[in-house]
Amino acid sequence: QVQLVESGGGLVQAAASLRLSCAASGRTFSNYPMAWFRQAPGKERKFVAGISWSGPSTRYADSVKGRFTISRDNAKNTVYLQMNSLKPEDTAVYYCAAGRVGLPTTGGMYDYWGQGTQVTVSS
């Protein structure tokens, strides 16, 4: 089992920045590729960014490329999502997830999920 706890969400104005954190506990964190998903009200959950277990490989949704950066610190069992130039359409609940292999964009390929943290971007 892996337990994931997100933090860092909040209410910000457009063009602002936020950094989300996801702290992991349980099984060896460094074994798992990690990802961030988000779900806006009334919409399905969507892939935002993913990072391989060792960190050199990353993957981003087109909508966040150039604005968001995913990183991880295996010594701290934490994965981060730096979000810059935020837009109102980035408003959603953000979830981190731990997967098995690769960097899939499908939520069903991830085994463990956090409870989510709300990000609200006002115009």
Question: pLDDT of 8-24, one tens digit each?
Answer: 999 999 999 999 999 99
pLDDT tens-digit readout, 21-38: 999 988 777 788 999 999
DSSP letters for 15-33: T--EEEEEEEEES-GGGS-
Average pLDDT value for the chain: 94
What is the biggest distance separating any 2 CA atoms in the chain, rounded to whole angstroms? 41
Q: How many CB atoms lie within 10 A of CB 4?
A: 23
Order of strands across the sheet with 2-7?
2-7, 18-26, 78-83, 68-73
Q: Per-residue pLDDT tens for 81-121?
A: 999 999 999 999 999 999 988 889 999 999 999 999 999 99
Which residues does residue 25 pair with via DSSP β-bridges, in sequence order?
3
